[in-house]
Structures are given as C-alpha cells and as structure tokens.
Amino acid sequence: MKNNILNFLEIQGYKVESTEETKKQKLIVKVRKKKGYKNKCPGCGSLKISCHAKGNYRLKKHSHFQEKLIYLKIKRDRLVCLKCRKVFSEELPSIKKYSRVSDNFVKQSLGYLAKNSFNEVGTVNKIGYQALKNSLYDNVDPFKLLDEKVKRLSELEEIYLGLDGQSFRGLDMVLTITEVKLRELLTILPSEHQVDLERFLKRLSPEIRAKVKGVAMDMTNKHYRLLVANFPKAVIVIDHYHVVACALMHLQKVRTTLQSARRMAIPIKKELNKNREDLTESDKDKMNKYFSLFPELFEAYLAKERVRLLYRATKYNEAKEKIGLLISELRNSKEDELKELGRTMTHWKQEILNYFKCRITNAYTEGLHTKCKLIKRKSFGFKNVETYVRKLILGLLPFALLWSYTHFST
C-alpha cells in the first residue's frame, strides 16, 4: 500500500511513515528519505558525512488532487563533512533547498499554467502570483529553449527561418522565430529591437548561419541588413501573404478615402477582400455598380488581383517580367495609393521575387500567432513582456518537452 502511494505521488526516493487528513482539505504525507540516498560534500566531494544538527519537520506543497492539496511532511538535517568539516544542508530528492514546494508541485502548476491564466492556477493550486511567476522564469527561458533548438538545427543540412513580429501591447512587439520547413518554434524574443535579435544571432555558430538558405519575413522588418550580414548564403523572402495584404490595404484605403471625400457609403469592403474566383454573381453586380462610379477603385481592385496573380507564375523569369510590368503601371498611376504600392514593391522587388527561388512562407509562424492571441485573451493581458513571452512559450510547446529541457538530469 505504502509503495503504491509512493508511485502515485511520484516521490520515489522516500519512504512513507504516515498519512493524515486535515479538515481543511489537506492530505499530509509524512515521509523519510530512503537510506540509499547519499549526500556528497559540496566543498570537497567526500561521501563521508555525518549529521550536524537535526532539522525540524516542515510541510512542502506537493500536489493538487480533487480539491485537495497534498503536502509532504519532511525534515532536512544539517550535515557535516568528516573530511573538510564543512557544514551544509542535506540534499533531498526532488525538493530544492529553501523551496516550500516540491519539484512535482512546480511541474503540476506550470502544466496548468500552460493552458490557463495566472489567476486560475493561483486559485486552484493555492499558489501566489509571485511564486508562480518565479517557477515560470526558472523553467522557461527563451534563450535556454533556443540552445536546445540550436542542437537540432545543427543536425540539418539546410535551414529556413521565419521571423515575424506580433503585438504585445500597443506598439510594443515581440519577435517569433521559427524553422518554417520543420514547422518548429525556435524562440520568441521579448522585443523587435536590434539588441535582442543580435543576442539571438550570437547563439548561432558560423557553421549554422552558413546553413541558413532562406529567411521569410514581412515588409515591416527593420533588420534586413543585419540578417543579410549574418546569413551570407540565405535568400530573404518577403512572405507572399503579406505582399497581397499590402495591396489589399491600399485598395481599402482608396475605398475609405473615396467614402469620406464623396460623403457616401461604399459598402463593398468584404467583396473587395474576396479573391476574384470566389465572387458570386450578386457580389459582382454590387461591385460593378461602384466600379462604374469610381474607376480608381476598379483600378486598385485590379492591382490587388494582379499582385495575387504574380504567384501563379511557375518560373522566376516569368514572375520577374510580370512584376516589372505591374510596378511600372503602378508608378504611373494617377492614384496616390497605387503609386505608394508601386514604391513599396519597388523597394522589396528582389525579396518578393526571391519566393520564386526559395518557396518558403511564414504561414506556420502566423499560425502560432493565432494561438498566441488565444493565450493573451484568456489571460486578460500582461503587464510584463518577459512574463508574456515565457507564458507564450509555455503555451505553445508540449509541456513535457519544456520540462525535460530543465530537468533532464533528474
């Protein structure tokens, strides 16, 4: 029976002496360290140790099970090394020194935190925000995660990175970095600032950097030069979804500008967003009505569709010819928004075309951001970006994997 309890509570390395249930929904399991568990002197490494002073029994939070909190009642003695006379606190299996909880409790709380808010975990597990936050910081580190992932990258022949910013709060952004072909999160950086990106780049050896053959990003990325300098063999690809989104944004701006200039509603926002092949007959009728009133709107719509059509090209040269023609037409347009689109596409022309050399997209990275939004919504916002990034990583990766990164030795 007592052995069953040991397995159930995951406290191998201990012996159960007694159990006691209190009225306040607590189960207290008094345990003693098994004889075989030897302490080593932290000073000289000697195994010849003796007891210096008996410790007092203390309760350590261990687990939460059906409304009940399970505590381990345990004592930690002061020991003395017989060789160098150093006095030190006894090591106990799976309870860190000075900690009021066991490793199992940390694991359980973080496991809940992966799917729930700080508040929720705090209430269920009876753990304060600060303690939970400390556990999160101790066990989830964006750069530690990266080191584990770098090991994986070093085994690859070719590496394809995806970089994408996502809003944390207002204008503050965090930067998600993935391997787009493996479809794996590498890390989330707490800002889009150059210092953080440089810190990331430093973790990649020159050998790994040379294996990077492609980097997918969008047109807002400010670190183009830094990326080119660090990945000499990579082509930088502007994600095709963002190119279309950019054309779409200008199209909608033409519509809203017309709306306010002419003081009339042009209620075809949804229809303009649709792909041409998905339009119904009634969509088309509705759009044609406004297109005949506003030829510039029609022009902008055609431009958006032509940007989409670029991606039907099968060969690099075909795409190059098409984009050259499109850009020169856009730049000659009388419509400011289209001129602007033409300028943006000129600026990123080579990177847009690079897609036809290296067909990578940031779709996987964007997909992660959808999950991040859910995590953010459940948690009612975050004040601290470092906490936010760690909570995201905890929510995005399998928890067992993260735990193994910090606890592979135990």
| Interface pick for Zn ion out of 2, 44, 288, 325 (rule CB under 5 A) | 44
Give the C-alpha separation, 174 to 176, whole Å.
7
CB of residue 40 to Zn ion, shortest distance in Å: 9
Using the minimum distance from each CB to Zn ion, give the nearer residue, 7 or 50.
50
Instruction: Compare residues 46 and 220 and give the one whose CB is closer to Zn ion.
Output: 46
Q: Of the candidates 43, 128, 267, 324, which one interacts with Zn ion according to CB under 5 A?
A: 43
Whether 212 and 236 have beta carbons less than 8 Å apart is answered as no
Instruction: Kindly provide the b/e burial profile for residues 31-42, where b requires at least 16 CB atoms within 10 angstroms of the residue's own CB.
Output: bebeeeeebebe
CB contact at 8 A, 268 and 286: yes
Distance CA 140, CA 368 (A): 18
Site size toward Zn ion (CB under 5 A) is 8
Q: What amino acid occupies position 405?
A: Y
Distances 249 to 284, 299, 353, 371, 405 between C-alpha atoms, Å: 20, 14, 20, 24, 42
- The region, left, alpha or beta by phi > 0 then psi within -120 to 50, assigned to residue 156 is beta
Binder of Zn ion out of 11, 41, 216, 353 (CB under 5 A): 41
H or E stretch covering 331: helix 316-331
- At closest approach, how far in Å is the CB of 82 from Zn ion? 8
Q: Within the chain, what is the greatest distance between any pair of CA atoms?
A: 96
| Min CB(52)–Zn ion separation in Å | 12
Distance of CA 382 to the CA centre of its chain: 15
**What's CA 376's distance to the chain center, in Å?**
12
- In angstroms, give the least distance from the CB of 97 to Zn ion: 17
CB of 50 vs Zn ion, minimal distance in Å: 11
Nearer to Zn ion, 86 or 199 (CB): 86
Q: Are the CB atoms for 335 and 296 separated by under 8 Å? A: yes
Q: Which of residues 76-95 bind Zn ion (CB under 5 A)?
A: 81, 83-84, 86
Stretch that binds Zn ion, among 37-45, 200-208, 275-283, 323-331 (CB under 5 A): 37-45
Using the minimum distance from each CB to Zn ion, give the nearer residue, 89 or 117.
89
Cβ proximity to Zn ion, 82 vs 309, nearer residue: 82
Least distance from Zn ion to the Cβ atom of residue 83, Å = 5
52 vs 68 by CB, closer to Zn ion: 52
Cβ distance to Zn ion smaller for residue 86 or 320 = 86
Smallest distance from Zn ion to CB 80, Å? 9
Give the separation between CA 96 and CA 268, rounded to whole angstroms: 62
Distance (Å, rounded) from C-alpha 121 to C-alpha 101?
A: 15
Say whether residue 106 binds Zn ion (CB under 5 A). Answer: no
CB of 182 to Zn ion, least distance (A): 47
Q: Name 297's Cβ contacts closer than 8 Å, sequence gap at least 6.
A: 251, 254, 255, 258, 266, 290, 291
**Number of neighbours of residue 15 by Cβ within 10 angstroms:** 14
- Of the candidates 12, 18, 25, 46, which one interacts with Zn ion according to CB under 5 A? 46
Minimum Å gap between C-beta 47 and Zn ion is 9
Q: For residues 9 and 41, which CB has a smaller minimum distance to Zn ion in the complex?
A: 41
Cβ closer to Zn ion: 41 or 326?
Answer: 41
Residues that bind Zn ion (CB under 5 A): 41, 43-44, 46, 81, 83-84, 86
